[in-house]
């Protein structure tokens, strides 16, 4: 019994060894067969054709106010409302009274001095009409321009030295500059809008006591607005040469035109481009808002060597071309896009482009291009 078990054991080992040898031999033959076969693949290609083209290049940016400042006073006092209640979003006109600080006594004194100046001018008008008839009109216009609620108009220029001496002797010249000095002082108690604009933030309400330099509100200029656009380094010279852009809203409607104002002096690390600042002027009946996103279109940028290729051939600014039945990668620069086509630089007329982006395969030994029919 024991003898039979021993024989059976060695017999099993022998059969297993034979089977393992057979399987191993088959695998080696399979590998040799695979190595010996040269695989090929047919793929769609298109010849590259570079031409001189007039391109339209787009960039995206956001409208911002050209000027944005904080309203503050140089003096201390109780803040009073101007001509209108100012809240975030309120709009105002240039030279409109926005705020004032209580100084009634100084206002009364200023208006009294203006009335005195008016009386002095009135007293000399009869003499001027006789002795300086040619100057009567300008002095009469000066008198009519003196208003209690406005700053003094410019003093009329003197035609002759004799006229200057006459006006000075009547005390008008000295009184004028005394009032201008008072106006300079009182200008610190009022705040006139320096431009057409809107209120973006309010920090202090009328009725509060304000201190010198304390922020009251923040205002932005809506007369002049600008847009910051990222410009690729390679296209910078073309943008500078063209200088002008057309702006469109999110719906693709034209809303304004602009001109290049200035260029950043360093590279934007986030976009790897140069920031260009353009003015933006609205077309008729269009309202531009700070913070609004717009598309800037630069037309007729001439490039000497541009190829049009399908967007399906590109991935991360790279394409593949066929050379000697192999796929060779090439870096390109995208200049513009139109529907499913791209305008690019970086390819030569001798290149045969793979129209559908794909990576080379180790199993494919030979790529054969089939030209697409247009």
Give per-residue pLDDT as tens, 154-202.
999 888 888 889 989 999 989 999 999 888 888 888 899 999 999 999 9
DSSP-derived letter for residue 316 is S
For residue 256, the surrounding DSSP H or E stretch is: strand 254-268
pLDDT (mean) for 227-235: 82
Residue with tokens 């002795």: 131
19 burial class (0-12, 13-18, 19+ CB within 10 angstroms)? exposed
Residue with tokens 């991360």: 316
Distance, in Å, from the CA atom of 19 to the CA atom of 90, rounded to the nearest integer, reads 92
H-type alpha helices, the chain? 2-36, 104-131, 136-145, 161-169, 172-186, 236-242
Taking residue 40's Cβ as centre, other Cβ atoms within 10 Å add up to: 10
Of 293, 279, 286, nearest to 225 (Cα)?
279
Distance, in Å, from the CA atom of 263 to the CA atom of 67, rounded to the nearest integer, reads 17
Q: Which two tokens stand for residue 258?
A: 């602009």
DSSP string, 41-67: EEEEEEE--EEEEEEEEEEEEEEEES-
Q: Give residue 267's pLDDT.
A: 85
Q: Is the pLDDT of residue 110 over 60?
A: yes
Q: Give residue 336's pLDDT.
A: 74
- The backbone torsions φ and ψ at residue 131, rounded to the nearest 5 degrees and listed phi first, read -85, -25
Give per-residue pLDDT as tens, 54-96.
777 778 899 988 889 999 998 888 999 988 899 998 999 998 9
Give per-residue pLDDT as tens, 30-54.
444 444 455 888 888 989 988 887 7
Angle in degrees, CA 282, 288, 291, rounded to 5: 140
Domains, in order of start, for the chain: 41-55+304-371 (2.40.420.20), 57-65+224-301 (2.40.30.170), 68-220 (2.40.50.100)
Q: Give residue 208's pLDDT.
A: 92
Distance, in Å, from the CA atom of 196 to the CA atom of 93, rounded to the nearest integer, reads 4
DSSP-derived letter for residue 152 is P
Give per-residue pLDDT as tens, 112-165.
999 999 999 999 999 888 888 888 999 999 999 998 877 889 999 888 888 889
Q: Is the pLDDT of residue 5 over 80?
A: no
Distance, in Å, from the CA atom of 171 to the CA atom of 109, rounded to the nearest integer, reads 18
Give the bridge partners for 207, in sequence order.
Answer: none
Report percent pLDDT > 90 for the chain.
26
Give per-residue pLDDT as tens, 237-267.
777 777 788 899 888 889 999 998 998 888 8
């Amino acid at each position: 019994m024991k003898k039979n078990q021993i024989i059976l054991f060695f017999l099993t080992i022998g059969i297993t060894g034979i089977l393992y040898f057979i399987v191993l031999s088959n695998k080696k033959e399979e590998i040799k067969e695979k190595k010996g076969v040269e695989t090929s693949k047919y793929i769609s290609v298109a010849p590259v054709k570079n031409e001189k083209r007039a391109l339209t290049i787009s960039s995206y940016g956001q409208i911002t106010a050209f000027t944005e400042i904080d309203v503050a006073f140089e003096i201390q006092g109780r803040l009073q409302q101007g001509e209108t209640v100012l809240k975030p979003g309120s709009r105002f006109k240039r030279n409109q009274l926005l705020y004032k600080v209580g100084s009634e006594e100084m206002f009364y004194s200023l208006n009294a001095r203006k009335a005195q100046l008016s009386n002095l001018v009135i007293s000399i008008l009869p003499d001027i009409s006789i002795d300086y008839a040619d100057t009567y009109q300008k002095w009469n216009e000066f008198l009519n321009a003196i208003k209690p609620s406005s700053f003094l108009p410019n003093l009329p220029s003197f035609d002759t030295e004799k006229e200057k001496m006459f006006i000075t002797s009547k005390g008008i010249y000295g009184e004028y500059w005394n009032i201008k000095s008072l106006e300079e002082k009182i200008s610190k108690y009022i705040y006139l809008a320096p431009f057409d604009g809107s209120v973006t933030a309010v920090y202090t309400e009328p009725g509060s006591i304000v201190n010198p330099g304390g922020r009251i509100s923040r205002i932005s200029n809506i007369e002049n607005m600008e847009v910051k656009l990222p410009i690729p380094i390679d296209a910078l010279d073309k943008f500078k040469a063209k200088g002008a852009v057309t702006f469109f809203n999110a719906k693709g409607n034209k809303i304004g035109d602009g001109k290049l104002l200035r260029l950043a002096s360093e590279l934007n690390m986030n976009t790897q481009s140069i920031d260009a600042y353009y003015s933006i002027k609205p077309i008729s009946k269009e309202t531009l808002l700070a913070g609004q996103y717009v598309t800037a279109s630069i037309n007729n940028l001439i490039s000497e060597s541009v190829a049009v290729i399908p967007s399906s051939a590109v991935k991360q600014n790279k394409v593949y071309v066929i050379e000697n039945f192999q796929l060779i990668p090439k870096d390109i620069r995208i200049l513009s896009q139109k529907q499913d086509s791209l305008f690019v630089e970086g390819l030569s007329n001798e290149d045969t482009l793979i129209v559908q982006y794909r990576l080379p395969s180790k199993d494919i030994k030979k790529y054969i291009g089939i030209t697409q029919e247009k």
